[in-house]
Amino acid sequence: MGASKGIGRAAAMALAQQGRALTLVARDITKLQAAAEEAREAGAPEVHVLAADFDARKDAIRRIARHVEAHPVHILVVNTGGPPGGALLASTEEMFLHAYGRHQLAAHGVLQTVLPGMRDAEWGRVVCVLSTSVREPIAGLGVSNTIRAGMASWAKTLSRELPPGITINCVLPGFTATDRLQSLAESRAGEQSANDIMEAWAAASPEARLGRPEELGAAIAWLCSDEASFVRGVVLPVDGGRLHSI
């Protein structure tokens, strides 16, 4: 999910390098086709693309259900673009409902759709790409903070319900050089420019730089590997040390 750019695309390339067959899902078919070609070059033996918009959640899940009838899924990377920024007190009911549908309900529906294939194989991996706001809420991202924390709780609950061999974990990206981060910086630009805001975010971690999508992709691919078979129900920050909490 969300495989056409940014962290989702980087995860797809890392899984391709492991020799995984892939189904890339996102809204933009042109970007998906470009990502598919890159994945084939990276080593994926088989690549499918599926254009789906999770703002039209039921239709997207129906498309996925038809696809998995012929192509069972054993790895699910949940990576959905975050809600717009804004103060929590200024957020409307519609904003919460939209984000909840796109994130929580879409992820739950897709997992229920692909889970039979994982059960049949007695092996599966689910990785949710969330945010460090799960541990420390980020100012100006009221709805996102709320929804991301709920997703982490959803994943932890499922880690106690899924059968042996099917794991679920979360990664928490810090400030990472993606289109999403650029958009957030531009939305906050005023007395400071977007570039100044990005530089301040970069300086906020001990690594003193933004993360690279490829670094997140590598962490996701490891959680999907056999080597991570005893890692279950964790939230893994990949943030350059930005978080203050343990």
pLDDT in tens, 108-136: 999 999 999 999 999 999 999 999 999 99
Q: Span 135-150, mean pLDDT? A: 95
Query: Tokens at residue 217, please?
Result: 């992709």
For 173, phi and psi rounded to 5 degrees? -65, 140
Tokens of 11: 């995860």
Q: What is the pTM of this model?
A: 0.94
Give the model's pLDDT for residue 29. Answer: 95
**Contacts of 226 by beta carbon, 8 Å cutoff, 6+ apart:** none
pLDDT for res 58: 95
Banded model confidence at residue 154, pLDDT cuts 50, 70, 90: very high
Residue 23 parent element (H or E): strand 22-26
Place of tokens 């799960």: 134
- C-alpha distances in angstroms, 140 versus 97, 143, 155? 18, 9, 25
Whether pLDDT at 157 is above 80: yes
The mean pLDDT value for 70-87 works out to 93
Q: What is the pLDDT of residue 187?
A: 83
Domains of the chain: 6-238 (3.40.50.720)
- Is residue 191 very low, low, confident or very high in pLDDT (cuts 50, 70, 90)? confident
Average the pLDDT over 163-179 and give the result: 95
d(CA 94, CA 86): 14
Q: What is the mean pLDDT of the chain?
A: 95
List pLDDT tens digits, range 22-38. Answer: 999 999 999 999 999 99
User: How confident is residue 190, by pLDDT bands cut at 50, 70 and 90?
Assistant: confident
Read off the pLDDT of each residue in 228-234 and give the average, rounded to a whole number.
Answer: 98
